[in-house]
Amino acid sequence: MKPLQELVRPNIWKLAPYSNARNEYNGGAAHVFLDANENPYNKPFNRYPDPLQHDLKDRLSKLKHIPANNIFLGNGSDEAIDLCYRVFCRPQTDNVVAIAPTYGMYKVCADINNVEYRGVELDENFQITADRLLKVCDRNTKLIWFCSPNNPTGNNIYRDEIIKTIRAFSGIVIVDEAYSDFSSQQPLRSELANYPNLIVLNTMSKAWGCAAIRLGMAFASSEIIDLFNKVKYPYNINLLTQQHAIEALKDTFEVGKWVTTLLQERTRMLQAFAMLPQCEKVYPTDANFFLAKMTDAQAIYGYLVEKGIIVRNRTHIILCNNCLRITIGTKGENNELLAALRQL
């Protein structure tokens, strides 16, 4: 890895972050707050939230086995994705490399930040090698993106190839583990201490059933987390999100039951889909969804919409011709989908 200062945009490295009232105050217990131009009425919503979410990070630290100073919290994982570009990539100069197909926000954020995006096509098994990714890198390649389990393909990318990439690449490697709770593969966040150029993303939206609160996580070296905190908006995680996340994290047993049930339903759905006459292939998955190659994905998608059943049509995505992406729902929802397809 290059020295961090060489990877960070010069203006970001020199940036003096906005100093908000809550960051400036580091004293003991206080009960009169006249520093932030807040309205003294309508408690607790009159006060700005903790800008660094200390209580929430402490709880996540215990759950994820990651020190709190190695955790960044964002408005969904999308904020952390965007910050990777804003911190490391010079517009119209630097480029990033990613697997293809994968989560679309990596490219959207590249386009927004005016950074060249180089997609490297997966093979017929939806896999990639470190050598193929590194071959398209040059001296201006700042980031390499992985999503594992990958969206929309559902499979884990070979862990050994990701680690080979991290070791060989002189820039930053981001591994998006949004769906890791549904996989038996060991999360790469456990490897942070070994790889200072690794950023691992996670979210409350999937296994935790909290998509509505928009809470994403990035795990990285404390130096990278400090850069993210310097660039982010001062109060990026609102009080309601912080409070709901803290409550949700208390019930790990219930979340474990959800994951177990979804994995059981995933097995059943893969078997059922494989027997449908409209289904040509069901791809292996390590996520809470699967990809299925259909005889006519566009027509089947339209038919399901008329039935009030919404799946994701991925037929226009590279390597996903005539494919539908199916999220695992409740048993009743899954049965309704199967019944509709059996009537087609």
- Cis (ω within 30 of 0) for the bond into 152? yes
Answer with the one of 205, 234, 250 that is the final residue of a domain: 250
pLDDT for the residue 18: 87
pLDDT for the residue 27: 59
Residues 110 and 214 in one domain: yes
CATH number where 169 lies: 3.40.640.10
Q: Taking the model in full, what pTM does it have?
A: 0.95
Residues 280 and 234 in one domain: no
Count of Cβ atoms closer than 10 Å to residue 297 Cβ: 22
Residues 263 and 315 in one domain: yes
Residues 162 and 277 in one domain: no
As a dihedral over the C-alpha atoms of residue 263, residue 265, residue 271, residue 277, rounded to 10 degrees, the angle is -130
pLDDT for the residue 138: 98
Q: Where is 255: in which H helix or E strand? A: helix 252-274
pLDDT for the residue 341: 98
Residues 171 and 202 in one domain: yes
Query: In degrees rounded to 5, what are phi and psi of residue 117?
Result: -115, 125
Residues 327 and 181 in one domain: no
3-class SS of residue 62: helix
Domain count, the chain: 2
pLDDT for the residue 28: 63
Burial group, residue 108, by CB count within 10 angstroms (0-12, 13-18, 19+): middle
Residues 131 and 276 in one domain: no
Amino acid, single-letter form, for residue 87 = V
Answer with the one of 250, 277, 304 that is the final residue of a domain: 250
Residues 207 and 242 in one domain: yes
Range of the domain at 46: 4-250
pLDDT for the residue 26: 65
Residues 49 and 16 in one domain: yes
Residues 275 and 191 in one domain: no
Residues 217 and 270 in one domain: no
CATH number where 273 lies: 3.90.1150.10
Residues 257 and 246 in one domain: no
Q: What is the mean pLDDT of each run of 10 residues along the chain (344 residues)?
A: 95 91 70 90 94 97 97 98 98 98 98 98 98 98 98 98 98 98 95 96 98 98 98 97 97 96 98 98 98 98 98 98 98 98 96
Burial group, residue 247, by CB count within 10 angstroms (0-12, 13-18, 19+): exposed
Answer with the one of 250, 272, 299 that is the final residue of a domain: 250
**CA distances from residue 292 to 6, 151, 157, 304 in whole angstroms, order as listed:** 44, 13, 18, 15
